[in-house]
Homo-oligomer: A and B are copies of this chain.
Amino acid sequence: MKPVVVRNIERADHGGMSVYGVSTVHEAMGRVGLMKPYMRPIWPGAQIAGPAVTVLAQPGDNWMIHVAVEQCRPGDILVVGCTTDNTDGMFGELLATSLHARGVQGLVIDAGCRDVKALHEMKFPVWSRAVSAKGTVKATLGSVNVPVVCAGVNVEPGDIVVADDDGVVVVPKRLAVEVAEKARKRNADEGGKRNRLASGELGLDMYNMREALAKAGLVYVDNPEDV
């Protein structure tokens, strides 16, 4: 596996998936593709979707992030995986300034991030496993735009990344159109359900769960001593 930068990647269309949010997209895809929940936004409220430019980095080394900037286009989301668990602050204000200048929407990094106050003020969103001021070196090569595992999910360059306060989900390129459509439908359906539940209807009835529960063996008793 030679260190390599792939210049041209096929970028999927996000089909408006930022509107539906992570939980809905994740359900629409069949409950796969979600990054581990240790990935948290460094400031709340951002909600984005876009194609991934990927980076494979080494622990304590952010050289390849500098390399990746040049490969980014407006609307992209930079996704950084690391060859080993590492929380060092590989990304901060200067890199964010550079990505922002190129129209990149945000960063997803399975490592640390620093300058969080400045990034919040810039409104540049980052999802990371840690906040850490630990500085990094520029000494060892990795790769750009190769498949990387980031927080438990395999990300191919150009896959759609959706991120909000609930976390980060990845939609493979070939499924993007289908998932966007399913997410749109789920979203539309939820309004009606919300109204019914808000009016006091029980999920047990709305989803017709009572029969299945009884069949599975659930027993109702009146008092604790009847258990």
A152 touches B152 (CB 8 A): yes
- Please report which residues of chain A, range 182-200, place their CB below 8 angstroms from some CB of chain B when the two chains form the complex: 190, 193-194, 197-200
B221 touches A98 (CB 8 A): no
How many angstroms from the CA of A26 to the CA of B152 in the assembled complex? Answer: 20
B166 touches A131 (CB 8 A): yes
Per the CB 8 Å criterion, the residue count for chain A at the interface is 105
How many angstroms from the CA of A215 to the CA of B98 in the assembled complex? Answer: 24
B23 touches A202 (CB 8 A): no
Q: CB-nearest residue of chain B relative to A99? A: B197
Asked if A73 CB lies within 8 Å of chain B CBs, one says no
Query: Taking A146-B227, A203-B66 as contacts, is the C-beta distance between A23 and B140 under 8 angstroms?
Result: no
**Number of copies of chain A assembled together:** 6
- Partner of A116 from B166, B199, B200 at Cβ < 8 Å: B166
Give the Cβ gap from A119 to chain B, nearest Cβ, in Å: 10
Q: Which residues does chain B contribute within 8 Å of A204, judged by CB atoms? A: 66-67, 69-70
Asked if A45 CB lies within 8 Å of chain B CBs, one says yes
Q: Which residues does chain B contribute within 8 Å of A95, judged by CB atoms? A: 203
Q: Which residues does chain B contribute within 8 Å of A157, judged by CB atoms? A: 224
Query: Taking A5-B220, A101-B200 as contacts, is the C-beta distance between A137 and B134 under 8 angstroms?
Result: no
- Please report which residues of chain A, range 64-83, place their CB below 8 angstroms from some CB of chain B when the two chains form the complex: 66-67, 69-70, 83
How many angstroms from the CA of A59 to the CA of B84 in the assembled complex? Answer: 10
A209 touches B66 (CB 8 A): yes
A218 touches B5 (CB 8 A): yes
How many angstroms from the CA of A67 to the CA of B129 in the assembled complex? Answer: 33
Q: Which residues does chain B contribute within 8 Å of A13, judged by CB atoms? A: none
Interface set of A (CB-CB < 8 Å, partner B): 1-9, 21-23, 26-27, 29-32, 34, 36-37, 40, 44-45, 56, 58-61, 63, 66-67, 69-70, 83-89, 92-95, 97-98, 100-102, 112, 114-117, 130-135, 137-141, 145-147, 149, 152-154, 157, 164-167, 169, 175, 190, 193-194, 197-200, 202-204, 207, 209, 212-213, 216-224, 226-227
